[in-house]
Amino acid sequence: MTCREAERLVMPYINGSITDEELEEFLKHIEGCGECREELEIYFTVDVGIRQLDEGTGTYNIKGALETALELSRQRIHTLMLLKTARYAVNTLCFWALLMILVLQFRMWGQSGFLGL
């Protein structure tokens, strides 16, 4: 992902309209690119600031809030990856189970002379 693409995703990230695929790439870029991270921090600070005005809450740890948001995003991507792996494992298991059943079935037919083997 280029800085341009990452910049374009800053707002979607903050208002939560970013897709999971974009989020994964975005997090990777933010982790390695100080400029884009700074950009995100600025937008995040402004966003939190506005909401803070709306809600009238007191002091708020913005840097901590961004860290928390990023951590939650990382966990989300991690969970999605696990789900993807789990789904793949289940699919693979189902395939082998089906194959095993077929093999056993054919052997049984073979033994009973059904296929003339």
Which residues in this chain contact Zn ion in the complex, by CB under 5 A?
Answer: 3, 6, 33, 36
Alpha carbon distance 38, 71 (integer Å): 16
Closer by beta carbon to Zn ion, 37 or else 76: 37
Task: Compute the least distance from the CB of residue 11 to Zn ion, in Å.
Answer: 15
Taking the least distance from each CB to Zn ion, the nearer of 33 and 62 is 33
Q: Which residue, 14 or 33, is less far from Zn ion as judged by CB?
A: 33
Q: Shortest gap between Cβ of 94 and Zn ion (angstroms)? A: 42
At its nearest, how many Å lie between Zn ion and the CB of residue 3? 3
Note whether 70 and 30 are within 8 A (CB). Answer: yes
Q: For residue 54, report the phi and psi dihedrals to the nearest 5 degrees.
A: -60, -45
- Token readout for 13 is 């990230």
Give the torsion sign (CA, 33, 39, 12, 63).
positive
